[in-house]
Amino acid sequence: MIGFAFWATAINYLDRQTLSVAAPMLREQFHMSNVEYSRVLFGFLLAYTIMNGVSGPLIDRLGTRLGYAVCIAWWSVAAVLHAFARGALSLGIFRFLLGMGEAGNWPGGVKVVAEWFPERERALASGIFNSGSAAGAIVAPPLVALILLKLGWPWAFVIVGAAGFVWLALWWPTYYTPAATKAEASAPRAPVWQLFRTRFVLSFTLSKIFMDPVWYFYTFWFPEYLKRARHFDMASIGKYAWIPFVVAGFGNLFGGLLSGFLLRCGLSVTLARKGGVTFFAVLMTSAIPAVLVGDAALSIALVSVAMLGYTGCLANMLAMPADVFPKNAVASVYGLASMGSGFGGMLFTLITGWVVDHYSYTPVFIGFGVMPLICALILWTLLGPLRAAAELRPAATA
């Protein structure tokens, strides 16, 4: 079952990365500046932010099987529509539609983990499904570059978008909720407003404002960085841009294994999860020297370490909602908290475009090297212990 969440995440990132790889060609054809390109990305993140608050409760209400399927069907159609873009405005509209659907992937994956895995295995299971993001990003540069060079950019969006329909054909007749969790899944759900008022959701949302935009930067801007700052051509981007995502895939596993090891050593869930996030957040500071070194190969290596740090952090953070909330609320909780992810992504994407246009990539990399440490500080100081949310006990038994 976790394999379905893995492949859904891989397809999610393959759809998302198609624009990143095609961006140099599209920017030249549509005459887009860095600021205009950042506005196209902003459209995606605006929809992503809004729908994170909708998709999680939707999946909890519809159930994992139907809710996840609806999200993937929507974003697959939106991905294909990119082929009909004729300028920055239409590209931004289709990007907005893609963001609406893709927001449901992580709440859906978190719910699969909550339904199928016990506490000690959740971080590793979360890391396995989230490693699909690295897999999709690994495949995207060479695959999309090949399609671009052979068939043109519209076909890249069509071919990649069709992968979601193959997943749906396998998911629908296969997935089911395990009998052991059906009773909890059908229990009364706390209302969304009550979830959002909990200390966990408020603090977790704030922490994601400073963590997830770092990954968005590497996802959306790294091919552009290689072209503009390191002077790579399209063939070279296809040849090398996948390397950091390969390394990032191991971070998903290392993050889950570290958390499980700390739990077996007798540490509490709180110390194991937060300690894992802190360790990998320190690794993410390698983004700072990445922009300062002169050698492009060394720069890619340092970015790879930073991206491994992100996925190690996320493997632990994905497991946290199920440590605190009942299984019929985890998709809602992660969706609500991911609104912080989208808000931070919108804000820092616009800042990135402006800073790159007016200065360079140097202050951008420095900022994204420091932000994960802010996230870790928030988790230690504001989040509180990871135990069953007392605020929900009356609602859960009503």
Residue 110 sits in a domain whose CATH number is: 1.20.1250.20
pLDDT of 367-398, one tens digit each?
999 999 999 999 999 988 888 665 554 433 33
Give the model's pLDDT for residue 396.
37
Q: Which two tokens stand for residue 113?
A: 């983990």
Residues 6+ apart with CB under 8 A from 66: none
Give the model's pLDDT for residue 395.
39
**Residue 190 pLDDT > 80:** no
Q: Cβ distance 48 to 102 under 8 Å?
A: yes
pLDDT-derived band at 310 (thresholds 50, 70, 90) equals very high
Helical pair 34-62 and 64-81, crossing angle rounded to 10 deg:
160
**Residue 76 burial (CB count, 10 A):** 24
- Rounded Cα gap, residues 357 and 331, in angstroms: 38
Q: Which domain holds residue 349?
A: 2-397
- Rounded Cα gap, residues 99 and 167, in angstroms: 19
pLDDT of 227-252, one tens digit each?
888 988 877 887 788 888 889 888 88
Q: What's the rounded mean pLDDT across residues 217-221?
A: 84
- Rounded Cα gap, residues 190 and 194, in angstroms: 6
Give the model's pLDDT for residue 187.
59
**Residue 246 burial (CB count, 10 A):** 15
Give the model's pLDDT for residue 188.
59
| Average pLDDT of the chain, as a whole number | 86
pLDDT of 193-204, one tens digit each?
788 788 899 999
Query: Structural domain tally of the chain?
Result: 1
